[in-house]
Structure 1
Amino acid sequence: MLAVAVPAAASDKAAANDRQGKPRTVVTTDMEQDDYASLIRYLLYTDDLDTEGIVYTASRFHWAGDGKGTEFFLPGREYPTPQTSWRWTGTRTIQNQALAAYARVYPNLRRQDPAYPKPADLLTTVKVGNVDFEGEMSHDTAGSNLIRDLLLDHDPRPVYLQAWGGTNTIARALKSIEERYPHDARIKARVSRKAVILASGFQDETYANYIAPNWPALKVEQLSAGYATWGYNCNAGKGNTRGLPADHVYFTGDWIKKNIQIGPYGKLYRSWLDGQSMPGDPLDIFGDPAKAPGGWCKPLGPYDFLSEGDNVAFNPLLNTGLQNPADPALGGWGGQATQTTASPDLWTMVTDPNTTLRWAGAAQNDFAARMSWTLTGDYRKVNHAPSVKIVQGDYLGVRPGASVTLSSRTHDPDGDRVSTTWWQYREEGTYPGAVAIAGSTVEIPADAQRGQTISIILQGTDDGQFPLTRYDRMRLMVS
């Protein structure tokens, strides 16, 4: 393939245009062990996302203290007496470890996809937010200022604010806007439309105490039900069955060690009893086989999947063909959510574990494929995802009792064979029953009522190493 030199100015303009079509997002994190593992995965998907910030924040589990010896205590926490800091892992792990390793493999990643952001550009997005105490939102920080300015800028795209720790730095940004424009209803409405909080869980009280009562029109998604797939698998013993039976292999130590903890980047990934631990965290016993059996979370086998509890906050944004971040009611790798209350605008992930488990095998293969990208710049030696498309489009009107034959178009950048299947996503449609599908022909039930919908998924999987899967969706509208 002939390499063509692109002038820097033109390249920067192309990069800016490319970002315009991607979800705009900020990660806020307390950098617990599972956050770190999620970050290793997340950075491999930054070619699909417009990462505007990676911000340290506090949570009920990790906070730095104010450096003045001030003691802090809230009832019901892990510590029985006031503390000056709690399990704080510092503010250099992202820069000195994760992004430093990303920089080493960036040349290979960029040959697999030129859209990967430059390490230096990602580094400029790293900020320290409100880290002093759990729920602290009393003063502006570099992290809260970054979020505030994004919410006030003229880019019309939503800003997806991922809360891997507490929501306190996000809350401080909103409080700063409220203080700057105390009586401007238009600003408040515009920010409420622009900001979307994707919380892996509420790890402090700032959502309940400040965001919900003061910003009731701002959409917040509470996604902790996804822990069933991606969170700590505690006290399960050696007989654990994480994942659906066919997918359990993707969480085993043999698979993780062979396919994920490889090369200068993958070796940073955390798994059970791998000897790694977070600096500054005395309760981080996951890497110590002598201490782990007595900890709050009993170990599984060596190198078994540990936790990436914060994947739930960015999986809804990933480019799989299913994603529609504007509509949490649609399912996909990020699960499926329902609106719990309209004011405040709170959505909660469906608690049925299958809402995330059904995608786990595909997600793990995708992760492994991208990890293999870090090892080589040769495009031909690794696998890349196919594209699949339903020819008839996204919507189709149908009548009860009719037969509808759909068509697909697929492409694989590596020339792999793509196998397709069609299936009904029952949780998405409003028709309550099962629909018969033979090949690509859908039989519309005779009892389907006008106005009901049937969601049909086209799923395409290639036959390359680490088979990769992409999707398209059609909604049949009964008329």
Structure 2
Amino acid sequence: MVHADMYEIEAIIISTGWSIKNVDHVNHFKEIATGVIDAYQKDLPNLIKRSDQHGFSQDNEKQEIGYWPSADYLKKRTMFGSKLMGMDKIGADNKSEGSNFIIQLADEDDGRPLWVTFWGGGNTLAQSIWQVQENRSKSEVEAFLKKLRVYAITDQDRPQKSDFESSSHAWMRYNFSDDLLFIWDECAWKFQNGTGKSNWSEYEKNIQNHGKLGSQYPKYKYGVEGDTPSFLHVLPNGLNNPDEPTQASWGGYSKWGSGEDNIYSYVNYKGNGYDTCRKYMDHFYPAIFNNFAARMDWAKEGDGNRNPIVAIDGDQSIDILTKKPLQGTTVVLDASASSDPDGDTLNYKWWIQPEAGTYSGTVNIQNSDSNKATLEIPANSAGKNFHVVCEVTDNGTPELTSYRRIIFEPTE
């Protein structure tokens, strides 16, 4: 909830999963969600100071980055989805407030995608798709699916040790892969789970008992923040386009391929995909944790460190930039107009993410730790692309990092 100003939270839908064994458990999880929102409400007077917000005028409008929604807004959008697990439950008798609301949201006249992140089982979304199939034409179903994006933390729409075919996740990926972007994560959540657990003392010190939200933060049972990569992938920090899972993000990395059940989607459960995901999660973990800790400071104190603003060639947005220089030339990338809202000193790091591009050769970066980097555009790179990331970290407490991604598409 201390990241609530970075998203337009459309709904919090309580569903099933490995930690929820029966309908009573589902009901209990709604009580947990409501308790967290109550704590958020008590911390809001401090949190809104981070963006100098006054009032909640955007609750029922398009919410901009930096806007903190009211607790009343969040409670109204907290609801039950499917209370029973598995594909065999999908059908006319499985409709829920959650499945109906997903359809309503996707039908809104809003050009933005609707991200549905699965922290448990995803059969509430599967039910929504089933309902749309029953009432709409093929082209209308395709349009509905193209509005949606899925990031699933493992596959929890089945008993943990059972076959995948019993899960509605498999049904969605098998039947709708042409129209539904589906990320099936089996790497980032495991890294976060284990790394958070091994660094638990830092969570005790910097997260627990920081504000009312910190008082709600429990001692781990299985791991720490294992579901978090699903929404960190969508975090608007300049690092990635969430629609492109090969662009490394705070939610890891995945690539198009066959999953554990031999159905294609964006996966990372083994081989190069898994290793690449682990590499970037390891790289980003300190920045992810520091960002969380700084926001908990705001919840507690109404004050704290804030992220740098990265400006590339004068552009201060978080948009991904595209440049089309001639191959064989030299290009200077200028981040000297970057700034920090707290006046902190900034440190720079420029690097290539090779997995995101199509150029397989070496790209040399000179002055990669300066606010101005020089790139030598390879002589054989026309018609291909490569990705440069600018990473800017302040010297505040804790140190916070922001990013920009620049895609080079050299020409002849």
Normalising by the smaller structure, the TM-score range is 0.7 to 0.9
* 2:253 matched residue in structure 1: 336
> What letter matches 1:91 in structure 2?
K
Letter of the 1:44 partner, please give it: V
Q: 2 CA distance for matches of 1:171 and 1:390? A: 41
Q: What is the CA distance between 1:60 and its match in structure 2?
A: 4.5
Alignment correspondent of 1:99: 37
Q: One-letter code of the match for 2:241?
A: N
Whether 2:49 is the aligned partner of 1:127: answer: no
AA matched with 1:395:
T
Distance of 1:122 and 1:175 partners within structure 2: 27
Kept in 2: contact 1:224–1:312 (CA 8 A): no
> Is 2:285 the partner of 1:360?
yes
How has the CA–CA distance of structure 1 residues 390 and 221 changed in structure 2, closer, same or farther, with 3 Å as cutoff?
Answer: same
The answer for the alignment partner of 1:396 in structure 2 is: 323
Distance, in Å, in 2 between the alignment partners of 1:424 and 1:229 is 23
Identify which of 144, 149, 156 aligns with 1:196. Answer: 149
Q: Indicate which of 104, 126, 147 corresponds to 1:171.
A: 126
Within 5 Å, give how 1:82-97 maps onto structure 2.
89-95=28-34, 97=35
Checking the alignment, whether the CA contact within 8 Å between 1:217 and 1:345 is kept in structure 2 is: no
Instruction: Supply the AA of the counterpart residue of 1:376.
Output: E
The CA distance in 2 between the partners of 1:455 and 1:133, in whole Å, is 41
CA distance in 2, matches of 1:178, 1:399: 48
Give the corresponding residue for 1:152. 107
DSSP-derived class of the 1:271 partner? coil
Offset from partner CA, 1:392-442 (integer Å, 9 cap, x none)? 772223344433221112121111122222222222232223332221343
How far off its partner does 1:164 sit?
0.8
> Aligned residue pairs: how many?
366
* TM-score, normalised with respect to structure 2: 0.82
For the structure 1 residues 438 and 412, does the alpha-carbon distance in structure 2 shift closer, same or farther, using more than 3 Å as the test? same
Gaps of 5+ in 2: 54-66, 158-166, 316-320
Bigger mean CA deviation after superposition, 204-213 or 413-422: 204-213
Does the aligned pair in 2 maintain the 1:389–1:471 contact within 8 Å?
no
Deviations 1:224-245 (A, max 9, x none): 21123212x3xxxxxxxx38xx
* Residue pair 2:363, 2:378 contacting (<8 A) in 1 also: no
The answer to whether the 8 Å contact 2:15/2:26 transfers is no
Distance 1:438 1:475, change over 3 A: same
Mapping of residues 230-241 of structure 1, within 5 Å: 230-231=192-193, 233=194
2 CA distance for matches of 1:254 and 1:405? 43
Tell me, yes or no, if the aligned pair for 2:330 and 2:377 is still in contact at 8 Å: no
SS of residue paired to 2:233: helix
Kindly tell me: are residues 178 and 446 of structure 1, through their superposed partners in 2, closer, same or farther at Cα, counting changes over 3 Å?
A: closer
The alpha carbon displacement at 1:215 in A equals: 6.6
Conserved in 1, the CA contact under 8 Å of 2:306 and 2:400?
yes
Q: Is the 8 A contact 2:331 2:377 kept in 1?
A: no
Q: What is the distance in 2 between the residues matched to 1:453 and 1:392?
A: 23
Instruction: Tell me the secondary structure at the aligned position of residue 196 of structure 1.
Output: strand
Contact kept? 2:253, 2:280, Cα under 8 Å: yes
Residues 24-35 of structure 1 aligned to structure 2 (within 5 Å):
none
Aligned-residue offset at 1:313: 1.1
**Amino acid of the residue matched to residue 335 of structure 1?**
G
Q: Structure 1 residues 459, 397: CA separation in 2 closer, same or farther (over 3 Å shift)?
A: same
Q: Does 1:375 align with 2:337?
A: no
Runs of 4+ in 1 over 6 A off after TM superposition: 85-88
Q: Distance in 2 between matches of 1:212 and 1:441?
A: 45
Partner SS state of residue 162, structure 1 = strand
* 1:61 CA displacement: 4.5
Q: CA separation in 2, counterparts of 1:416 and 1:86?
A: 47
Deviations 1:52-71 (A, max 9, x none): 10011112542424xxxxxx
Residue type matched to 1:152 in 2?
D
Letter in 1 for 2:240: Q
Aligned to 1:81: none
CA contact (8 A) 1:63 1:133 kept: no
- Quick one: distance in 2 between partners of 1:351 and 1:314? 19
Aligned partner letter, 2:283: R
Q: 2:274 is matched with which residue: 330, 335, 351?
A: 351
Query: Is 2:397 the partner of 1:465?
Result: yes
TM-score by length of 1: 0.71
- Opposite residue 332 of structure 2, the aligned amino acid is T
Change (3 A) 1:162 1:446: closer
Structure-2 separation of matches of 1:318 and 1:92:
26
What residue in structure 2 maps to residue 11 of structure 1? Answer: none
Residue 79 of structure 1 corresponds to none
Alignment partner, residue 204 of structure 2: 257
Shift of 1:121: 0.4
How far apart, in 1, do the equivalents of 2:101 and 2:26 lie?
Answer: 25
User: 3-state SS of the aligned residue for 1:351?
Assistant: helix
Amino acid at match of 1:141: S
CA 1:63/1:133 → structure 2, altered by over 3 Å: closer, same or farther?
Answer: farther
Alpha-carbon distance change, 120 to 345 in structure 1, aligned in 2, over 3 angstroms: farther
Aligned position for 2:219: 271
Structure 1 residues 49 and 412: alpha-carbon distance in aligned structure 2, compared to 1, 3 A threshold: same
- TM superposition shift of 1:336: 2.2
Larger Rg: 1
Q: CA deviation at 1:169?
A: 0.7
8 Å CA contact 2:356–2:386 kept in 1: the answer is: yes
1:312 lines up with 2:312 in the alignment: no
